[in-house]
Amino acid sequence: MICPLAQVEEVFKTTHGAVYQCSRKNCYWLEFQQTTTAFKISDFFLLKKRIDALDIARMLADTSRAADFEIIMPHRTDRCFILSVQDILNLREILTGAKFMIELNSEVKKILRKDAVLAI
């Protein structure tokens, strides 16, 4: 659960989870698998890189039981994700959407600043 004192804004949401930005603590909150986990900005992007690097094709082709799940322990959190192929795909969708929205917001702010400077 997100801290009730935090001031959060929704960054991206699907039926499987969401990412929120907390301006008070300067972090992102990931809501996934019925839990909420806080990430520093750099750790959030590291998690996305790790999830993107998982080899779905290998997992599907491997018939051993060990290939059915991936265990991910993000940096500086108490959280451990045990992810099936479907979970990985769902989490990728959430993280990719959130990254896109973060980058889009950054570009919009740059353009607005540039337009404000030109208007003066």
What's the CA gap between 49 and 91, in Å, rounded? 12
pTM of the predicted structure, to 2 decimals: 0.87
* Structural domain total, the chain: 1
Report the sign of the C-alpha dihedral through residues 43, 49, 51, 55, in that order.
negative
Question: What is the number of other CB atoms lying within 10 angstroms of the CB of residue 93?
Answer: 15
Judge whether 61 lies within some domain: yes
Judge whether 67 lies within some domain: yes
Judge whether 54 lies within some domain: yes
What's the CA gap between 64 and 108, in Å, rounded? 47
Judge whether 120 lies within some domain: no
Judge whether 1 lies within some domain: no
Judge whether 119 lies within some domain: no
Give the range of the structural domain holding residue 93, as residue numbers without chain letter: 8-114
Please, what is the end-to-end C-alpha distance for the chain in angstroms?
Answer: 45
From first to last of its 120 residues, what are the pLDDT tens digits of the chain? 556 666 889 999 999 999 999 988 889 999 999 999 999 999 999 999 999 999 999 999 999 988 999 999 998 998 999 999 999 999 999 999 999 999 999 899 888 887 666 665
The token duo for 78 is 């108490």
